[in-house]
Amino acid sequence: MKIIHCADLHLDAKLHTHLDRARARQRRDELLRNFGRLADYASENGVEAILIAGDLFDRDTVSALARNVVLAVIRAHPRIRFYYLRGNHDVGDCLRGKDTGGSTPEPLPENLFLFGNRWKTWPEGKNGEIAITGIELGRENAASAFRSLRLQPDRFNIVLLHGQ
């Protein structure tokens, strides 16, 4: 089974520290296109899962453009399963958006699997022989998270975390 692991993409970062507004916008667009290129590469090379270990976005307020591009890329690759564990920069429900104007947000893609503030395990592989387990660390669970981890001895275990 082929897997791609990535983290700290920081999509939609302001990038104003070292770049003027025009160059920052150009760089943000390049980073979004690169996410699509990552998924295209995975598709062309028989990758079955992409593990995103935190900070896909740079902040909890994500532009509609960045959110829609990421969701469109995931939907455009239904044979790839995307496992997304939020990091310290992309807190909140950044994929559902806060700008829905009170309307019900569109459902997330079926090939997108999320984690939360408790250990969550997703079976992977043809017979579920791989266990992808992750937890989103925060103040409320950081001290106890590692004591509560339970791996599955009859499977290949992959633990997904994002450092703080």
pLDDT digits (tens, 9 = 90+) for 128-146: 899 999 999 888 888 888 8
Name residues whose C-beta falls within 8 Å of residue 88's C-beta, 6 or more positions apart in sequence: 54, 55, 137, 162, 164
Given this model, what pLDDT does residue 105 score?
65
| Among candidate residues 45, 111, 107, 46, the one with its CA nearest the CA of residue 73 | 111
Do the beta carbons of residue 123 and residue 97 sit within 8 Å? no
Looking at this protein, which amino acid is placed at residue 163?
G
Q: What is the pLDDT of residues 146-161, one digit of tens each?
A: 899 999 999 999 999 9
* Banded model confidence at residue 120, pLDDT cuts 50, 70, 90: very high
At 49-108, the pLDDT tens digits run 999 998 888 876 778 888 889 999 999 999 999 999 988 776 667 777 655 455 556 789
Residue 100: the pLDDT is: 47
Look up residue 30 and give its two tokens.
């390049």
Q: pLDDT, tens digit, for every residue of 7-18?
A: 988 888 777 677
Cβ contact 162:86 at 8 Å: yes
pLDDT reported for residue 54: 85
| pTM higher than 0.85 | yes
Contact 119, 148 (CB under 8 A): yes
Cα(1)–Cα(130) distance, integer angstroms: 10
